[in-house]
Amino acid sequence: MEKTLIILKPDAVAKGLENDIVQKYEKAGLRMIRREELVATAATLKQHYSAHVQKGFYPSLEKFMSSGKIVAIIFEGNNAVATARKVTGSTDPMKAEKGTIRNEFGDMKLADDDRIMKNLVHASATKEEAEKEIKLWFG
Ligand code: GDP
Ligand code: MG
C-alpha cells in the first residue's frame, strides 16, 4: 500500500484544525498509520525543503515552520501521494481549488519583505519525495 507524508504546519495546529484536516484525507480513502507532534529544527527543515533552500522565501519559510508545534503524519492508501495532493490543493491558498484544505482553511499574510505563505499543510509531491520524507521525519 502506498504511503505519503503530511505535515500539519504551525498555522493549522494553532487554529485547532487537526481533526478537520485529518478527516479530509480520511474521506478521500486514506488511513493514518503514524502521527508525531514536534517542533521542527532548522537542520531537519533544510533537508525537508532541500529543493527550496536556495530560494528567496526560504528563510521566512524556515522561521514559520519552526515557530510552533507541527504534526507529522503518515497516511496510507491507494495512490496515497496523488490523492493527498488533490485533497491538499495548490500551494497558494488564494489559487487552491474549491473544497481543498488550502482553499477552505488557508489565508495569506503579507508583511513587508517577510512574506509567509500560510498554507496549513505539507503533502509529499511524488513517491520518491514521500519515501525520503518518511525516513527523515520517522527514521
Ligand atoms: P507545495 O509542495 O505545494 O507545498 O509547494 P512547494 O514544494 O513549491 O513549496 C514548499 C513550500 O514553500 C510551500 O508550501 C510554501 O509554504 C512555501 N512557498 C513556495 N513557494 C513560495 C513563494 O513563492 N513564496 C513564499 N512566501 N512561500 C512559498
Ligand atoms: Mg513541495
For 38-78, what is each residue's pLDDT tens digit? 999 999 999 999 999 999 999 999 999 999 999 999 999 99
Q: Which residues does 136 contact at the CB level (< 8 Å), separation at least 6?
A: 44, 47, 48
Is 58's C-beta closer than 6 angstroms to any atom of ligand 1? Answer: no
Distance 91 CA to ligand 2 centre (A): 8
pTM equals 0.95
As given in the structure block, the three cell numbers for residue 37 are 507532534
Distance 60 CA to ligand 1 centre (A): 11
For 30-39, what is each residue's pLDDT tens digit? 999 999 999 9
What is the average pLDDT value for the chain, to the nearest integer? Answer: 93
CATH number at residue 28: 3.30.70.141
Domain with 38 in it: 2-138
Cβ burial, residue 30 (10 Å; 0-12/13-18/19+) = buried
Structural domain total, the chain: 1
H or E stretch at 94: none
